[in-house]
Amino acid sequence: MVRVALGCGRAGILACTLALLAPTPAPLAGQSDTLRLSLDRAMELARAENPAYLATRNDREIADWEVREAYGQLFPSASIGSTFSWQAAGEQRFGSLTLAQDLPAYYLSSYDIGVSYQLNGTTLLAPSAARARRTATDAQIRAAEMSLVAAVTRAYLEVLRSAEGELLAAQQLERARFNLRLAQAQQEVGAVTPLDVRQAEVQVGRAEVALLQATNALDTARLRLLQQIGLDPDRPVALTTAFELEELTWDRDALLATALERNPQLRARTAILDASRVQVQQARSAYLPTLSARAGITGYTRQASNTGSLIAQAQARVAEQVEQCVVLNQLYRRLADPLPTRDCTMLAFTDAQRNQIVAQNETFPFDFTRQPASASISLSLPLFQGLSRERQLEAARVQRSDAELQVREQQLALTADLTIALHAVATAYRSAEIEARNRGVAAEQLRLAGERYRLGAISFVDLVDAETLKAEADQAYVNAVYAYHDAVTALETVVGAELRE
């Protein structure tokens, strides 16, 4: 950055600042990377890059999904499940009875496909509650955005203020060096003593320190601005927005009406109040009945680890049938009028039966045997739940009452803050006007002091006093100008809308 001594009048002080912040002619490579940053562009970048604001804005996605989920609860839910299990070999017992012995190990699997539906007052009111919470989230995001806008505006103004300070420090250094040269010339002709030259050298040193501090303040302000925006702190910027010192008049009642409608904190608390009212309705719905319904189908498989026992059981059953057949044939022959006998060899256990048992056993894991479909519906009305519903309803009412009080508190605070902010803007403007006059008087006094010193009418100390007074007047004017813009920014934050072009 090239520092030059610029003479800035009341109307040109901001132009000098912009000239000081503009990129220097060299190097050209650095020029191409310099970001020309208007206040509107800074706001746009901050909304897209500031991490804290983006984290707050992400809450909207959660709120949207909560609304979708609330509507989704009004539809039936479907499920499908499957189980796989294993049963070791051994005896099958029921109490003291042994139902079967030497059973093989079994592999079992099953499935369950079902549709269920539940409806109660809480489910019916869930979409309204979710929408109210989303509205509150939107209001909180808007409040975070307004806070970000105010922070970026203040940081932007601080960079301009620091640039003015650096410019004034550079001008003061140039005047101190000029006074040193003047004192040296006066010493050469014997008009002043060496003490005046030493005092002039001290003033030059102090002015150099002041310039270093002003440059550091400007660098710090620029880094804070980039931090608020969310950009790389090493990136050079050139600010292009000028803030004019002009008296802005607003109607208090009109501003208050706008603030009651757009103030982000008030809107957030109002949205929270709306959500708390829906929560009271949800708490009351706990006294309503609940409807539940379900329908589904199931299936299972059961496969033995080996078919030896199954075949043995089948052979035992066949042997019993053959034995019964033989006994019946003997009875038929002993009758007075014998009946025809059966061929018991036809009941013998065959390889086909063996193969059929083996094939029927191969069912695990997906050859399911389907069970008959089932459906059920129920209606329940809670009568007494240990006063939990009463407690929840009362808690919801208290929360609603707290929200109403918070809205009232915010309305009162908004009225007071708006009045205070308006008075602060008016005071800051009048202060800037007075400081402008003081600056002009100090400049004229310094001009006269310089002429009188060259004529030897005053001492160097008197000249330094005039220099100090001029520097203080310049700094006071700069502070007053930016105090006015800070006050306007605070007023915009209260109103929740931009008031400057």
Q: Which CATH number fits domain 13-70+128-287+388-495: 1.20.120.1200, 2.60.120.10, 1.20.1600.10, 3.10.20.30?
A: 1.20.1600.10
Task: Give 208's pLDDT tier (boundaries 50, 70, 90).
Answer: very high
Kindly give, in sequence order, each residue whose CB lies less than 8 Å from that of residue 113, ignoring residues fewer than 6 positions away. Answer: 78, 79, 80, 296, 297, 298
Q: Residue ranges of the domains in the chain?
A: 13-70+128-287+388-495, 76-119+290-380
Q: How far from chain centre, in Å, is Cα 424?
A: 33
DSSP 186-252: HHHTTSS-HHHHHHHHHHHHHHHHHHHHHHHHHHHHHHHHHHHHT--TTS-EEE------------H
**To the nearest whole number, what is the mean pLDDT of the chain?**
85
Please give the span between the terminal C-alpha atoms of the chain, in angstroms, as a whole number: 30
Q: Please check the confidence at residue 403 and state whether its pLDDT lies above 80.
A: yes
Task: Measure the CA–CA gap between 255 and 493, rounded to whole angstroms.
Answer: 12
Mean pLDDT score, 307-334 = 86
Bridge partners, 294 (sequence order): 116, 376
Among 27-36, 44-53, 217-226, 253-262, the minimum mean pLDDT is found in 27-36
Q: What percent of the chain has pLDDT over 70?
A: 91
**What per-residue confidence (pLDDT) applies to 9?**
40
Q: Over the stretch 152-174, which tens digit does the pLDDT of each residue have? A: 999 999 999 999 999 999 988 99
What is the C-alpha separation between 310 and 104, in angstroms, rounded? 9
Residue 95's pLDDT is 62
Classified as helix, coil or strand, 2 is coil
Q: Which of 447, 470, 464 is nearest to 169 (CA)?
A: 470
C-alpha 231/C-alpha 478 separation (Å) is 28
pLDDT at res. 93: 66
Q: In the prediction, which pLDDT does 99 show?
A: 52
Beta bridge partners of 379: 291
The stretch 173-192 carries a mean pLDDT of 83
> What's the confidence (pLDDT) of residue 3?
31
**Alpha-carbon span 287 to 289, nearest angstrom:** 7
pLDDT tens by residue, 268-312: 899 999 989 999 998 898 888 989 999 999 998 988 888 887 888
pLDDT at 114 exceeding the cut of 80: yes
Band (141; pLDDT cuts 50, 70, 90):
very high
Mean pLDDT of 93-112: 74
352-389 pLDDT per residue, tens? 888 888 888 888 888 888 888 999 999 888 888 788 88
35-37/97-103 β-pairing:
unpaired
Give the pLDDT band of residue 190 (cuts 50, 70, 90): confident
- Whether the per-residue pLDDT at 27 is higher than 80: the answer is no
Query: Per residue in 439-455, is it b (16+ CB within 10 Å) or e — as a string?
Result: beebbeebeebbeebee
Say how far residue 380 (Cα) sits from the centre of its chain: 41
pTM over the 0.75 mark:
no
Q: Are 25 and 116 in contact (CB under 8 A)?
A: no
* Angle, CA 284 vertex, CA 279 and CA 289 arms, to 5°: 125
Which residues fall within 8 angstroms of residue 105, CB to CB, at 6 or more apart?
86, 87, 88, 89, 304, 305
Cα(443)–Cα(436) distance, rounded to whole angstroms?
Answer: 11
Task: Check the CA dihedral 488-489-493-498 and report its sign.
Answer: positive
Contact 410, 266 (CB under 8 A): yes
Count of CB atoms situated within 10 Å of the CB of 487: 21
Confidence of residue 203 (pLDDT cuts 50, 70, 90): confident
Confidence band for 18, pLDDT divided at 50, 70 and 90: very low
